[in-house]
Chains A and B, each alone.
Chain A
Amino acid sequence: MKFSHSQSARANILAKLKKQVKGADYGKLPVETAFDYPEQDFEQQLNQFICQLEANHAQVIKIKPQQIADTLARQLKNRNIASLLYGESSQYSQAIEQLNGFIELTPYDFMLDGNRERLFNDYPASVTGSYCAIAQTGSIVLWPTENEPRTLSLVPPVHFVIVDTNQLYQDFATLIGAQQWQDKLPTNVVLVSGPSKTADIQQTLAYGAHGPKELVVLLLCDEDTL
């Protein structure tokens, strides 16, 4: 769906710009130097990751991988929440499914179309896995899939997210470089660094603006990092 006017606008804009940079030598651009952040060991990175997240009002719980179901059950009970939305056949779905029978566990196995009311009103909490994490800014990388759709981590008011400490990168630039993101970006990637918030009224911080009011991070640790 294109508009004819858009095509002439395109030609005009590009012609104007090209006229100005005609003959520019791109080989002679000045060298760009990135700041050399001191390298941190794993423990420092993990500490920074947790500190940043907590400073941004997220709750971080360090657990062993086999404690996922127990922790979720306890955290849900603390909040008087009896149901949980999760992604079927996802990274941690087997562990999550241990909750079956204890709480009302619903897989996100429906299309959003026609089910919006249900998604917006029926699920007080959701749980997702994560792709990796960034220590410097306390960010969790969500890489939504068919099994864990984009709205799963966005619409329910409480978002539990499972993060594997083995997938921690020092900073965003390092992560993009190490994983060569430019070759594989999916429909959507989101960096999440806390619960939804706003300071739009008189610079007063308030949580739960439009996205989740609470972000609970289940941090999977090895024996020795616990």
Chain B
Amino acid sequence: MNNAAQYKIKVQESKYANSARAFRENVARDLDNSELRENFRGAMDYLVDKRKSAFSEREELDCLRQQCKLIKQRCLVKLPLLLEQLEQQLEQNGIVVHWAESITDANEIIAQLIERNNGKSVVKGKSMVSEETALNDYLELQGVECLESDMGEYIVQLAKEHPSHIIMPAIHQNKQQVAKLFAENIDGFDYNTDVDTLIQQGRQVLRDKFCQADVGISGVNFAVAETGTLCLVENEGNGRMCTTVPDLHIAITGIEKVVEYLADVPPLLSLLTRSATGQAISTYFNMISHPRQDGEKDGPKQVHLVLLDNGRSQAFADDELRQTLQCIRCGACMNHCPVYTRIGGHAYGTVYPGPIGKMISPHMLGLEATKDLPTASSLCGACGEVCPVKIPIPKILLRLRQESVKPKSDDKQVMKGQGAGRKALEAKIWKAWSLVHKRPVLYRTSMWFLTRLRGLMPKKLGAWTKVRTAPKPAAKTLHELMAQRSRGIRDEV
């Protein structure tokens, strides 16, 4: 446990906090990469079209969105009770439940479970929560290899990157880049850009791993409190492999993934797959309620669930911000986001990119590291319009902007890092602005000076004039022009 102890000291915050702080530099870097921009543009156009064709009836879509919003809101208002019910039901079924407040706690629980079972080889199905905890890094320090088995995640892991999209992790790479990566990393593979060949190569490597693995790690899409069931949505079959073949299955999820009834699942599932990839349903929908029972020939002998908080309870504590937790992680908001499409998923520096990332990351990493993220939006509203559970994303982004510039001394601490984006000069300017706008005489006087002294406007205005010309006040104020005009009209009469 020496390494783990060291890790805990070293990693008091997520590695993503630093990359989120570098948001502006990341954006400049990625906007300059034309190949990357082409990859994202192509992928987003594809996903937008797919979603559109999956919802042919407006009436059905509206009804489903309203229903699913209410389902998630009900489950959130009952969240503590449902978590207790889920735990009780899972344990009755033989599934062990663990709770973690921080990412390090979650990683430690998983590492200990693996150690106690002498786990040597770990395969992982797609899990964004395990990305959030940077589980692979943690296990690597313990000398445990944790292999990603979703094709996209596998590519990203080979490239030593992290996912750039929550549904399609390797969307930033094109097939030539993947072919190059495989040729460099897989023995006996010659550069080939045929996608079928690439997938069959990945299949072969990973099947050997599934066959040997003693631990499988997965995420959870819905955890059903009523029945103690873990539901997984996937197309590839790697999720089924990870949760069926190894003797030990560890699932990890955020506390907001619990739903009350089994009957809550069908509408949510329908909206999830259709919003995400335009599929009526994913190839596999896997519902796990027990470890292997007496007489059964396969399936894990132990199943564990790790429930992670990591800032979610902070979002829960505010009525408006709580809506963030309605998210079912379909990715539609990023697919439709003009900012995401242009800067790509890595520029955000966070695990969850795009609009959902801008909303949830401040709770996970604190506003100090993420204060720039909520500002990376044109507030065009596309994300809110497509959100399957009707999260008012633009409104929440505005709220986060306010939280980030609030005076630090305000008594009510809504968020970690509140006021981190506050600048004294900016605050004074706005104070003066509001003062001027409340007093007509002061307003007219300042405007008179502003128009008369317009020649003094500097040509360079920092970042603004890097790609734009500096604005110049008009020669006369609107009030003056209007007065002049009405005088003219009177004179004519």
Task: Report whether A182 and B281 are in contact in the complex, using a CB–CB cutoff of 8 Å.
Answer: no
**With A185-B227, A187-B293, A200-B170 as given contacts, are A193 and B96 in contact (CB-CB < 8 Å)?**
no
B120 within 8 A of A: no
**Interface residues in B214-247 (C-beta closer than 8 Å to A):** 226-227, 229, 235-238, 240-241, 244-245, 247
Contacts of B284 in A (CB 8 A): 190-193, 196, 211
Interface residues as binary, B164-207 with A (CB distance below 8 Å gives 1, 0 otherwise) = 00001111011100100000000000000001101110110011
Binds A, one of B295-303, B365-373, B426-434: B295-303
Given contacts A26-B77, A149-B297, A182-B261, contact A201 B255 (CB under 8 A): no
B283 touches A194 (CB 8 A): yes
- Of A17, A29, A194, A204, the residue contacting B313 (CB under 8 A) is A17
Residues from chain B with a CB closer than 8 A to the CB of A208 are 199-200, 203
Query: Which of these binds chain A: B150-158, B397-405, B454-462?
Result: B150-158
Contacts of B267 in A (CB 8 A): 34-35, 173
Q: Chain A, 75-106, contact with B by CB distance < 8 Å: what is the 0/1 string?
A: 00000000000000000000000000000000
- Assembled-state Cα–Cα distance A155/B241 (Å): 8
Contact with B along A184-226 (1 / 0, CB 8 A): 0111111111111111111110101111100000000000000
Asked if B141 is an interface residue, CB under 8 A from chain A, the answer is no
Cβ contacts A120-142/B at 8 Å (1 or 0 each): 10000000000000001111000
Interface of B is mostly: helix
With contacts A185-B289, A196-B235 taken as known, whether A112 is within 8 angstroms of B245 at the C-beta atoms is: yes
Contact among B80, B270, B280 for A21, CB-based, below 8 A: B80
A210-B282 contact in complex given A9-B105, A201-B151, C-beta closer than 8 Å: no
Of A32, A182, A211, the residue contacting B74 (CB under 8 A) is: A32
Task: Let me know if B463 is at the binding interface, CB within 8 A.
Answer: no
Least distance between B287 CB and chain A CB atoms (Å): 4
B108: which A residues are within 8 A, CB to CB?
Answer: 3, 5
Is B10 an interface residue, CB under 8 A from the partner?
no
Q: Do A35 and B199 contact each other (CB < 8 Å), given the known contacts A110-B297, A190-B284, A192-B283?
A: no
- Nearest to B68 among chain A residues (CB) is A32
Is A2 close to B, CB under 8 A? yes
The CA of A9 and the CA of B103, in the complex, are separated in Å by 12
**Which of A14, A56, A117, A212 is packed against the most chain B CB atoms within 10 Å?**
A14
Contacts of A35 in B (CB 8 A): 59-60, 63-64, 67, 267
Chain B residues within an 8 Å CB radius of A149? 296-299
Q: How large is the interface on A (under 10, 10 to 19, 20 to 34, 35 or more residues)?
A: 35 or more
- Known contacts A6-B98, A32-B70, A192-B283; is-contact A197 B266 (Cβ 8 Å): no
- Residue B79 is within 8 A (CB to CB) of chain A in the complex: yes
Q: Does B4 contact A (CB under 8 A)?
A: no
Whole-angstrom distance between the Cβ of A178 and the nearest chain B Cβ: 12
Question: Which residue from A1, A13, A173 sits with its C-beta under 8 Å from B309?
Answer: A13
Cβ–Cβ contact A185 & B283, under 8 A: no
Q: CB distance B67 to A34 under 8 Å?
A: yes
Give Cα A7–Cα B109 distance, bound, in whole angstroms: 12
CB of A154 within 8 A of CB of B262, answer no
Number of interface residues of B (CB under 8 A): 102
A66: interface (CB < 8 Å): no
Q: Is A14's CB under 8 angstroms from B244's CB?
A: no
Give the shortest distance, in Å, between A183 (CB) and chain B (any CB).
8
Bound-complex Cα distance A116 to B168 (A): 30
Other-chain contact of B229, A37, A52, A185, A190 (Cβ < 8 Å): A185
Given A32-B70, A188-B289, verify A26-B261 contact (CB < 8 Å).
no
Q: B residues within 8 A CB of A189?
A: 286-287, 289
Q: Contacts A9-B100, A137-B280, A201-B195 given: A209-B168 contact, CB under 8 Å?
A: no
* Total contacts A-B at CB 8 Å: 269
Contacts of A194 in B (CB 8 A): 283
Which B residues, 71 to 127, have Cβ-Cβ distances below 8 Å to chain A?
Answer: 71, 74, 77-80, 83-84, 96, 98-101, 105, 108-109, 112-113, 116
Please, how many angstroms separate the alpha-carbon atoms of A16 and B77 in the complex?
13
8 Å CB interface, A137-171 against B: 137-139, 146, 149-151, 154-155, 171
Given A151-B244, A172-B269, A187-B299: A17 touches B79 (CB 8 Å cut-off): yes
Residues of B within 8 A of A111 (CB): 297-298
With a cutoff of 8 Å between Cβ atoms, the chain A residues found around residue B449 in the complex are none
Q: Are A209 and B280 neighbours in the complex by a CB distance under 8 Å? A: no
Contact code string B38-77 (vs A, CB < 8 Å = 1, else 0) = 0100110011000000000001100110110011001001
Q: Are B70 and A13 in contact (CB under 8 A)?
A: no
Cβ contacts under 8 Å, A26 to chain B: 77-78
Could you tell me the distance in whole angstroms from the C-beta of A142 to the nearest C-beta in chain B? 10
Nearest CB in chain A: distance from B138 CB, A: 15
B316 within 8 A of A: yes
Judging by beta carbons under 8 Å apart, are A1 and B113 in contact?
yes
Counting CB contacts under 8 A, is A10 at the interface? yes
Cα-based distance from A196 to B211 in the complex (angstroms): 18
A3 touches B226 (CB 8 A): no
Complex alpha-carbon distance, A20 and B322, angstroms: 11
Complex Cα gap A177–B211 (Å): 37
| Interface hits, A2-60 → B, CB 8 Å | 2-3, 5-7, 9-10, 12-14, 16-21, 24, 26, 29-35, 37, 52, 56
Q: Which residues of chain B from 258 to 296 have any CB-CB distance to chain A below 8 Å in the complex?
A: 261-263, 265-267, 269-270, 277, 280-293, 295-296
CB–CB A13/B71 < 8 A: no
CB A21 to nearest CB in B, in angstroms, measures: 6
Instruction: Tell me if B281 and A33 are in contact (CB < 8 A).
Output: no
Given contacts A33-B63, A198-B236, contact A150 B113 (CB under 8 A): no
- Measured in the bound complex, the distance between the Cα atoms of B277 and A120 in whole Å is 30
In this assembly, does B31 line the interface, its C-beta being within 8 Å of a C-beta of chain A?
A: no
Q: Are B245 and A151 in contact (CB under 8 A)?
A: yes
**In the complex the two chains form, what is the Cα distance from A139 to B112 in whole Å?**
38
Q: Is B244 a contact of A150 with CB atoms below 8 Å?
A: yes
Does any Cβ of B come within 8 Å of A176's Cβ? yes
- Flag whether B210 is at the interface (Cβ < 8 A): yes
Residues of A within 8 A of B149 (CB): 210
Q: In the complex the two chains form, is A190's CB within 8 Å of B170's CB?
A: no
Q: Which of A113, A202, A211 contacts B174 (CB 8 A)?
A: A202
Q: Are A211 and B244 in contact (CB under 8 A)?
A: no
Q: How far is the CA of A149 from the CA of B263 in the complex (A)?
A: 26
CB-defined contacts of B99 to chain A, threshold 8 Å:
6-7, 9-10, 13
User: Can you list 12 A-B contacts (CB < 8 A)?
Assistant: A5-B105, A13-B313, A17-B79, A35-B267, A187-B290, A188-B288, A190-B286, A190-B287, A191-B281, A199-B277, A201-B151, A202-B42
